[in-house]
Structure 1
Amino acid sequence: MATYIGFLRAINLGAKRKFPKAAIVAAVEKAGFTDVETYINTGNVRFDTTLRSRAKIETALEKAFEAEAGFPVPTVVFTQKELVAIADDAASFGHGGKHYVSLLKDAPTAAGIKAVEAVGTADEVARVGGRAVHLLLGENYHEAKLTNAAVEKHLGVATNRNLTVLSALAQRWC
Structure 2
Amino acid sequence: MPSQTYIAMLRGINVSGKNMIKMPALAALFTELGLGNVKTYIQSGNVLFNRKSTSEQELAAEIGAAIKRVFDFEVETLVVSLPTLNAVLQGNPFINERNEEVAKLHATFLYQLPDAAQMAKIEPGKFLPDEFALVGETIYVFCPDGYGRTKLTNNFLKIS
Smaller-chain TM-score range?
Answer: 0.7 to 0.9
- How far apart, in 1, do the equivalents of 2:122 and 2:79 lie? 22
Superposition TM-score, scaled by structure 1 size:
0.73
2:107–2:141 Cα contact (<8 Å) kept: yes
Partner of 1:44 in structure 2?
46
Partner of 2:21 in structure 1?
19
Q: Is there any run of 5+ residues in structure 2 with no aligned partner, and where?
A: none
2:109 is equivalent to residue 103 of structure 1: yes
Task: Kindly name which structure, 1 or 2, has the bigger radius of gyration based on alpha carbons.
Answer: 2
Closer, same or farther in 2 for the Cα pair 1:120/1:54, shift >3 Å? farther
* Aligned residues: CA RMSD: 2.6
Partner of 1:172 in structure 2?
none
Partner of 1:153 in structure 2?
159
Amino acid at match of 1:103: F
Q: Which has the higher contact order (CA 8 A, sep 6+)?
A: 1
Partner of 1:137 in structure 2?
143
Closer, same or farther in 2 for the Cα pair 1:102/1:120, shift >3 Å? farther
Partner of 2:134 in structure 1?
128
Identity, in percent, stands at 25
- How far apart, in 1, do the equivalents of 2:111 and 2:132 lie? 17
- How far apart, in 2, do the equivalents of 1:116 and 1:80 lie? 31
Amino acid at match of 2:82: Q
Q: Is there any run of 5+ residues in structure 1 with no aligned partner, and where?
A: 155-174
2:119–2:159 Cα contact (<8 Å) kept: no
- How far apart, in 1, do the equivalents of 2:121 and 2:90 lie? 25
After TM superposition, give the deviation of residue 11 of structure 1 in Å.
Answer: 1.5
Give the structure with the larger helix fraction: 1
User: Is the partner of 1:32 in helix, strand or coil?
Assistant: coil
2:35 to 29, 33, 45: 33
After TM superposition, give the deviation of residue 101 of structure 1 in Å.
Answer: 1.6
1:58–1:75 Cα contact (<8 Å) kept: yes
- How far apart, in 1, do the equivalents of 2:17 and 2:67 lie? 17
Aligned length: 154
Superposition TM-score, scaled by structure 2 size:
0.78
User: Is the partner of 2:68 in helix, strand or coil?
Assistant: helix
